Amino acid sequence: MYDVNIRALLLAIAASLFFAGSTFTSKLLGSGYFGEPVHPLQITHSRFAFGLVTALILFFLMRRRLTNIRANLHIHALRSTLGWIGVGIMFAGVIYIPASDAVALTFLNPIFAMIFATLLLKERVGRHRWSAAALAFVGTLLLVRPEGGIHPVALACILAAMIFGMEIVIIKILSSREDVFQILVLNNSIAVLVASVPLFWVFTVPTTVQWMGLAAVGGIMVAGQTLFLYAMRAGEASLIAPFIYATLVFVVLLDLIVLGVVPDAISLTGAGIILSCGVYIGFREHRQRRH
């Protein structure tokens, strides 16, 4: 069991690196690092379009089959629409506010998932997890920086966290009914259709370098999702989930190494509180399941 968990944790950390790479590449594209800035909605479309290509390649290489498509297609449509909105906000967030702040705020999603699971799935939540959730919102107040006027993009990132939290609950429902790779393929298929609608108003012809960046956003993200799925298979979900917070660490490192951006004390404190609460909730759930 020890070896299996170590392997699972390494897979989760590797997945976090891929998630950070995809998010940071979207920042470079949107901020004009590769030429003219690419609109966040176009970047979001590429995340799902090239993500679908990558998912299909993996799907057929592993000889999977689609099953139960009709029964839950409406749930897939809801999940994909929510995912598109959340990803679009997050990709815009890393462009207009510090990347560490945007990612940390969207990492409130496990807190919102806990709240939605309590309301919709009737899951029981103890006082320790509610206390951690309350403390996480203290970290949120630091990141939105109310003393200087609340940035609307920061509020949008909190909305993205709520959306991702609802998406997690929907994934819980789908994962009990369907194969994980089926969920991955259908999610990207529906989301790319949804993302194609606003693309007509914001599309610009990318340069060769920008095409490579857009392809990387989708391919790297799906590669991270695949690693995360294997991590969830190799270890307990409650133990694996907190290690995805390593994504924020990798984003900060990429921001520092590539762009020379150093997060200030407020960003580090707020992000640290949110991360600590998320990790605490995950490990407490893991301990309870072990007992």
Query: Is residue 267 within 8 Å of residue 101, measured between CB atoms?
Result: yes
Amino acid at 11: L
Smallest CA-to-CA distance from 117 within 289, 251, 285 is with 285
**Which pLDDT score, from 0 to 100, does residue 39 have?**
94
**Which pLDDT score, from 0 to 100, does residue 46 have?**
94
CA 285 to CA 120: how far, in whole Å?
19
pTM: 0.82
Render pLDDT for 222-268 as a digit per residue (tens, 0 to 9). Answer: 888 888 877 777 766 656 666 777 888 888 888 889 888 888 787 77
| Per-residue CA distances from 132 to 59, 121, 160, 275, 279 (Å) | 38, 20, 20, 10, 10
CA 243 to CA 215: how far, in whole Å?
26
**Which pLDDT score, from 0 to 100, does residue 212 have?**
95
**Average pLDDT score over residue span 44-52:** 92
Residue with tokens 């800035």: 37
CA 94 to CA 74: how far, in whole Å?
31
**Average pLDDT score over residue span 11-26:** 91
- 205 pLDDT tier (thresholds 50, 70, 90): very high
Render pLDDT for 70-109 as a digit per residue (tens, 0 to 9). Answer: 557 888 889 899 999 999 999 999 998 888 788 888 877 7
At a CB cut-off of 8 Å and minimum separation 6, what does 52 contact? Answer: 185, 188, 189, 192, 218
Render pLDDT for 208-220 as a digit per residue (tens, 0 to 9). Answer: 999 999 999 999 9
Render pLDDT for 54-72 as a digit per residue (tens, 0 to 9). Answer: 888 877 777 666 665 555 7
**Which pLDDT score, from 0 to 100, does residue 186 have?**
85
- Per-position DSSP letters for 222-258, written without gaps between them: HHHHHHHHHHHHHS-HHHHGGGGGHHHHHHHHHIIII
Residue 263 dihedral angles phi and psi, to the nearest 5°: -65, 145
* Span of 37-41, 150-154, 172-176, 203-207 with lowest mean pLDDT: 172-176
**Average pLDDT score over residue span 170-176:** 74
Query: In the chain, pLDDT over 90 holds for what percent of residues?
Result: 26
Determine the distance from the C-alpha atom of residue 97 to the mean position of all C-alpha atoms in its chain, rounded to a whole number: 17
CA 143 to CA 80: how far, in whole Å?
28
- 191 pLDDT tier (thresholds 50, 70, 90): very high
State both tokens at 203: 């599309």
At a CB cut-off of 8 Å and minimum separation 6, what does 74 contact? Answer: none
CA 115 to CA 120: how far, in whole Å?
9
